[in-house]
Amino acid sequence: MKKRYLSLAGLVFILGGCASVGQPDQASLAKMPVVDFGGTVPTDGNYILHFPAGVGIETPVTFQGNLFEQAAHETVTVKPTQDIYVHKQWMSYDTEHWVDANAALDLKVEVVLPGYAHPEPGYVLLEMNKKP
């Protein structure tokens, strides 16, 4: 099986929806509510999403389909080492200095399934690193 990769731009689009172009206006951002991950977000879509340092981010992982005797469902939890704030494709560690997430992060997503080309256990890998 081929390895499948997802770019950070693709992940940000999937998670955050269509994003605006151009550096965010600091005065506008300062007026937006900050919502902790898992909290209720405003319906108008104008908010800053906060991933607090040390607080778990749960992500369900499911394998299912009629090819399997039974589905498998697990929830994995990771904890950020520092606060992360996100508004559309922009991110910040302090709500004052905003950068395009593509410029701030290296993201690697890899899914390898067992098969003829990989006759051993498969794996799912998501690796996120701060760029220097």
Between 31 and 13, name the one with better pLDDT: 31
Break the chain into its structural domains and give their ranges: 8-130
C-alpha separations of 50 from 10, 60, 125 in Å = 20, 20, 23
Q: Cα separation of 35 and 15, whole Å? A: 15
pLDDT at 55: 98
User: What pLDDT digit, counting tens, does each position of 103-129 carry?
Assistant: 999 999 999 999 999 999 999 999 999
DSSP 32: S
Region of 85 please: left (phi>0), alpha (psi -120 to 50) or beta: beta
Backbone angles phi, psi at 91, to 5 degrees: -140, 160
Q: 15: part of which helix (H) or strand (E)?
A: helix 8-16
pLDDT interval class at 132 (50, 70, 90): confident
Following CA atoms 102, 2, 15, 84 in sequence, which dihedral angle do they give, to the nearest 10 degrees? -50
pTM: 0.77
Q: 77: part of which helix (H) or strand (E)?
A: strand 72-78
User: What pLDDT digit, counting tens, does each position of 16-57 carry?
Assistant: 444 445 778 889 999 999 999 999 999 999 999 999 999 999
